[in-house]
Amino acid sequence: MKNKSQTAKHFEEIARHEEKINILVRFPPGKMKIEETTEQLIYIKRRSVAKLTYVRDMKAEELGKILVFIEENHGRYENKKQLIELLITNFSSITGRKPQKAAKKIVTNFLITLNALELLDSNAQLSIYGKKLSRYFRMDVQKYKDYLGWLVLSKGGWIVILTELDELYKSHYFIKSKDELFQLLCEKLQQNGYIKGRWNLTDIFSWLTYLNILKQWDRITKIHQIDWKRVYGLLRDKALA
Amino acid sequence: MSISVSHSEIYGIPGKRLILNIQVEHPHETWKEIKIFIKYHPIFKTNSFEHLINRTNDVGFTVLKTEVVLPQDLGEYKLGEIIIERNGTVISHDLPRVHILTLDGYFEEMVAKELRSLGFVSKRWGGPDNPDIEAYHPDFPTQKFQVEATIEQNYGLRKYREDTGKFHDLKNRFDFKRLLIVPLVDPTNISKDVFDRLRKTSDPISLICFGDLQKLSEKYKNYHISKYEVFAYLSQTGFIRI
């Protein structure tokens, strides 16, 4: 009898034995929805954007040329003032533009952008970011675009421009022209405290288009479509950081 | 974001512990926090589980553990729901369905499961007016088996008569061709009279101990025997020994 009851008892033990349920939660890369990506970008915006980098009178390609010039003239200046003078003197050869009376103002704007993107250190020498970007400009244009894209989105804070632009598109307001788009976007940025005064966004948009973050202006839909995949790819790529 | 759960159904008796291992792989992208929330069916009388992951680690994932004990209330219930929230995006997934059974019912489920692993199509009926299990092999669909599973500690003549009587009552209604008796006990706990009856019977009645059914299943899984041999074994009249 002892043996008999043991079989049943043993089975009861098996029946009562703990069972494991395994649950796996994954976040596969590249499979995120656009809405999810936008949520992330809004989060990045809230977390890290303190100021926006302003770009005026400068093309994205010119930035590379300026960096190469600064690198090549290492040791020929000691401070920021001397660097500005050097850039003014060589303005035409660097940019390919005609000599201008306003060269000093333009060069000053260059320096503001370089500082904002942390491409220069406190001694007006190229920082690690500046050296990296200069090297990419000389060797591989696509890498230059990727790295500059990452810099303007993260350090330049232009992620804010994209998220505000996205919200503007989603407001279903029919934008009639590029000027109106810039005006509405400017007002939104002002309202949310990212900028003071009226900004001319033409150059910023031409940079974003050059960097393939924005698509070309669509004359029919009247929008600059945002390439979120590109934005997300740039922010995700740790090699850039 | 995706959630996968290892089981879709769980069978158990009251008091059985279910351990939920939740492995959360950290996203490759920037993230702030991941909220894990498990809401159980009220029948389980278990508080909901909530956890917040807000930092990454070296291994790139977090494993959380929680457990539920099956209550006395017999029946079939949805265990609950797991909800994951990340950066404002929420997704949810149902947890497995749980069948809380008596020990008899659980044994019947185990027998049906073994038959399924042998390539049979099996269904547990339960109840006094129904067979314990109905089973057939897809290659021989007309050969329908009535399976009677029992956990009685001593399989004697009285129980044998009950099972065979039930078979004669049900075979026309369910179109059964054979009776397969599966006791939990091993052959030493089956009475001599039952063996005598099994030896003499000309009816399509067979008996296989649960341990032998498991052995047969093991052989089939390891490709030691074919599906035809399995069918031949289970279609033998009398006592089946593996």
Looking at residue B121, which CATH number applies to its domain?
3.40.1350.10
Instruction: Tell whether B135 and B153 lie within a shared domain.
Output: yes
User: Is residue A53 included in any domain, yes or no?
Assistant: no
**Mean pLDDT value across residues A129-137:** 90
Q: Work out the mean pLDDT of chain A and round it to a whole number.
A: 81
pLDDT at A210 over 60: yes
Q: What is the mean pLDDT of residues A185-198?
A: 83
Q: Are the C-beta atoms of A158 and A152 separated by less than 8 Å?
A: yes
Q: Are residues B236 and B117 in the same domain?
A: yes
What confidence tens digit (pLDDT) does each residue in B194-232 have? 999 999 888 899 999 999 999 999 999 888 888 888 999
Phi, psi torsion values for B209, nearest 5 degrees: -70, 150
Question: Of A111, A141, A171, which marks where a domain is finished?
Answer: A141
Q: Which residues of chain A does B184 touch, with a Cβ-Cβ cutoff of 8 Å?
A: 7-8, 11
Of A83, A110, A141, which closes a domain? A141
- Structural domain includes residue A54: no
B177: containing domain: 103-240
Final residue belonging to a domain, choices A113, A141, A169: A141
> Is the Cβ pair B29, A35 closer than 8 Å?
no
State whether ipTM is beyond 0.90: no
Q: Domain for residue A134, yes or no?
A: yes
Q: Which domain holds residue A109?
A: 60-141
The stretches of A73-197 forming alpha helices (DSSP H) are 80-89, 91-95, 103-116, 128-139, 141-154, 159-170, 178-191
The verdict on a CB contact (< 8 Å) between B25 and A44 is no
Q: In chain A, positions 18-47, which contact chain B (CB-CB < 8 Å)?
A: 18-29, 32, 35-36, 39-40, 43-44, 47
Name every chain B residue with its beta carbon within 8 A of the beta carbon of A36: 1, 87, 89
Looking at the structure, do residues B229 and B117 belong to the same domain, yes or no? Answer: yes
Is A53 within 8 Å of A94 (Cβ atoms)? no
At A33, is the pLDDT very low, low, confident or very high (cuts 50, 70, 90)? Answer: very low
Whether A13 and chain B come into contact, CB under 8 Å, resolves to no
Q: Are residues A181 and A220 in the same domain?
A: yes
pLDDT tens per residue across span A219-240: 887 888 888 888 878 877 655 6
Q: Does A167 lie in the same domain as A135?
A: no
Q: In this structure, are B134 and B86 located in the same domain?
A: no
Residues B51 and B126 in one domain: no
| Mean per-residue pLDDT of chain B | 89
Within a domain: residue A104? yes
CATH number at residue B44: 2.60.40.10
Considering the domain architecture, whether residues A65 and A134 belong to the same structural domain is answered as yes
pLDDT at residue number B32: 82
Say if residues A175 and A184 touch (Cβ distance below 8 Å): yes
pLDDT tens-place string over residues A44-95:
555 455 578 888 888 888 899 999 999 888 888 888 888 888 888 888 888 8
pLDDT at A4: 45
Measured between CB atoms, does A239 come within 8 Å of chain B?
Answer: no
**Coil vs helix vs strand at B41:** coil
